[in-house]
Amino acid sequence: MYNAYDMTIYIDPNLITLGPFVLSWHGLFSAVGLGAGIWIALRLLRGTVLTEDDVMTTAFWCTVGGLIGARLFHVLDQWQYYSQNPVQIVLINEGGIAIFGAIIGGTIGGLIYAYVRKLPMGLLLDAGGVGLILGQAIGRIGDVINGEHHGMRLPEGTPWGVTYTHPNTLGERGLPNHLAVGYELVWDLLVYGVLLGLWGRLPRTGMIFWTYLLLYSVGRFVITFFRQDTIAAFGLTQAQLVALGTGAVALWALVYLLTRPAPATRTPAPTEPPPSSEPPPSAEPPAPTEPPVASDMAPERR
């Protein structure tokens, strides 16, 4: 029997099952989040030097890099399992990704493409940061429904405790937990609002992206204390260690951009007048010329 004061979620994590094909709530909202992130980036960059093709192609390479990074970070986090089951490493369709891996891998993939094409990286980073945090918030809806990323246990009757009751749930069935992924969803939406409010108001391009990374890292570091994740080192999880590193880099980048001197505007040197064909005026007036004198040898008139 479940306490009436606990929030209860009774939803099958699989939305559609057609033979071997399974569409989960997590997969659905991940796809919706990706589309929404690209859409908001296109809206923000409309009217800039970047064309729609530039943005869409950059988004493609961000997605490729994000998938590789997300899987790589997850495999490293669970290396004890994957070292014994190496074939499972490539089976990404069975689940297992890390959000920080997606952020870092996606950023690297997009920057490489922007560098090759000589696109303005600052603008792409800023729009990408806004799109990323919106996509993350939407993707977390699927995590909330599925019961993924177990939260710390709570006593029964805790008003903010969540209990998953569906037989197929990925959560801990019948046990009230912190809804840690729900906390992150709310935090992501708050960060999204802050970034939209800062759009076009910061002195340099790139600052919105680093603000996104700093705020998300702070939130993720704190919220992870409410999750049942594997401890990596120093009593912290992999996500918390990465959050410390990315947060430090983001803070340094913001300070650097704020304190970097503005490019000096060079005053053009005065140009010399073109040479004239006439001789320059003399400082002294020319000597007066005497009138011609009649020659003594002129014949005498008779």
Is residue 295 assigned to a domain?
Answer: no
- Asked whether residue 79 carries a pLDDT value surpassing 50, the answer given is yes
Instruction: Let me know if residue 265 belongs to a domain.
Output: no
282 located within any domain: no
Query: Which residues does 134 contact at the CB level (< 8 Å), separation at least 6?
Result: 33, 36, 37, 40, 188, 192
Q: Is the pLDDT of residue 137 over 90?
A: yes
- In which domain, by residue range, is 70 found? 7-259
In the three-class reduction of DSSP (H, G, I as helix; E, B as strand; rest coil), residue 75 is classed as helix
pLDDT at 288 (0 to 100): 52
Give the whole-angstrom CA distance, residue 122 versus residue 211.
13
Domain membership flag for residue 276:
no
* Interval 245-258 mean pLDDT: 96
Overall average pLDDT of the 58-73 stretch? 92
Tell me the C-alpha distance between 116 and 128, whole Å.
18
**What are the tens digits of pLDDT across the range 175-197?**
999 999 999 999 999 999 999 99
- Region class of 98: left (phi > 0), else alpha (psi between -120 and 50), else beta: beta
Residue 223 contacts residue 190 (beta carbons within 8 Å): no
Triad 124, 208, 249: Cα angle to 5°: 100
When pLDDT is cut at 50, 70 and 90, the band that residue 243 belongs to is: very high
For 188-240, the pLDDT digits (tens) are: 999 999 999 999 999 999 999 999 999 999 999 999 999 999 888 999 998 99
Q: Does residue 64 have a pLDDT over 70?
A: yes
- Domain total in the chain: 1
| CA 12 vs CA 191, 244, 286: distances in Å | 30, 35, 109
Answer whether residue 11 is part of any domain.
Answer: yes
Is there a domain that residue 248 lies in? yes
Residue type for 60, please? F
Minimal CA–CA distance to 126: which of 198, 215, 35?
A: 198
| pLDDT(118) > 90 | yes
pLDDT of residue 93: 59
Q: Is 272 part of a structural domain of the chain?
A: no
Amino acid at position 106, single letter: G
On whether residue 219 sits in a domain, the answer given is yes
Q: How confident is the model at residue 265 (pLDDT cuts 50, 70, 90)?
A: very low
Q: What is the mean pLDDT of residues 13-22?
A: 85
The pLDDT value given to residue 268:
46
Count CA atoms within 13 Å of residue 194 on its CB side: 18
What band does 62 get if pLDDT is binned at 50, 70 and 90? very high
pTM: 0.81
Percent of the chain residues topping a pLDDT of 70: 83
Q: Which residue has the higher pLDDT, 298 or 189?
A: 189
Report pLDDT for 78: 79
Q: What is the DSSP letter of 173?
A: B
List pLDDT tens digits, range 22-53: 888 988 999 999 999 999 999 999 999 999 99
Separation of alpha carbons 79 and 81, rounded Å: 5
